[in-house]
Amino acid sequence: MSDLPNWGSFNSFLKVDPLPPGPLKPGQPLAVAFQPPGAKSATKMQPQVLAFEPSSKELRWRGKLFNTDLLFVGEHFFQLKELGPKKTLLLHGEDFKGCLVPLLGGMLKDTEKGFIDFNQGLKRAAEQT
């Protein structure tokens, strides 16, 4: 999961551009593109890393539209919970806030489908290693 630039190898929904060398740090910007199933093109955002903890297996970032918290803010999260030998639970989602959220119901449903596709692709990739 920490190999962000290679996410495109197992999913078509969420991609992250190559990163500078070294570990991710809070406040670091990312270049993220997401394309929900059925969307004609990808939406590009530059969220900021909130947390990256390889030891606790967590990644969080926060993105917003038009550089304001009023319209639309999404806080994306990934957490891996070890359940036993060779068994891990992925918690993955996004919390949305802002004035536009009630108007984006259809897009958010498609985004949820993209999350599911991402999760299934990550599971397949993890099981192959």
pLDDT score, position 115: 92
pLDDT tens string 2-58: 788 889 999 999 999 888 888 889 999 999 999 988 889 998 999 999 999 877 699
- Average pLDDT on 84-101 reads 93
Surface-to-core class of residue 61, CB atoms within 10 Å of its CB (0-12 exposed, 13-18 middle, 19+ buried): buried
Global pTM value: 0.86
In 1-129, beta strands by DSSP E:
14-16, 32-34, 43-45, 48-53, 58-64, 73-84, 87-97
The C-alpha angle with vertex 7 and arms to 90 and 51, in degrees rounded to 5, equals 55
Under 8 Å CB-to-CB from 120, ≥6 apart: which residues?
A: none
Class of domain 4-127: alpha beta
Tokens of 123: 């599971």
